[in-house]
């Protein structure tokens, strides 16, 4: 099971068993935030794929493509880290 599915099931069971809807809504919100982290990893794959295609078509541009690849992956990774950070804040900080 994916992390989102587990959090969703925890949210549903906590609402029905404990009667506290806030816990369930926090778990659903954290699961939705992790969709952003998953989308970030898919984006990194596309960045790498297009960089390899660019170097395969024109090998002389390897240095420029590599620089842009590193910059693009770094920017994309920050989005995933922010999604993970917000997910942790929802679970542990919000009361």
Provide the pLDDT confidence category of residue 48 given band limits of 50, 70 and 90: very high
Provide the pLDDT confidence category of residue 18 given band limits of 50, 70 and 90: low
H or E element: which one contains 81?
helix 62-88
Higher pLDDT, 93 or 18: 93
**pTM of the full structure:** 0.66
Rounded Cα distance, 32 and 91, in Å: 12
DSSP state letter for 92: I
* Owner of token pair 């690849």: 69
């Amino acid at each position: 099971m994916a992390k989102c599915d587990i959090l969703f099931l925890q949210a549903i069971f906590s609402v029905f068993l404990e009667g506290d809807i806030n816990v369930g809504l926090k778990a659903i919100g954290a699961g939705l935030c992790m969709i952003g982290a998953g989308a970030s990893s898919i984006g990194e794959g596309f960045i790498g794929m297009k960089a390899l295609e660019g170097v395969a078509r024109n090998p002389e541009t390897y240095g420029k493509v590599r620089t842009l690849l590193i910059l693009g992956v770094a920017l994309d990774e920050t989005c995933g880290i922010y999604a993970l950070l917000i997910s942790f804040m929802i679970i542990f900080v919000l009361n």
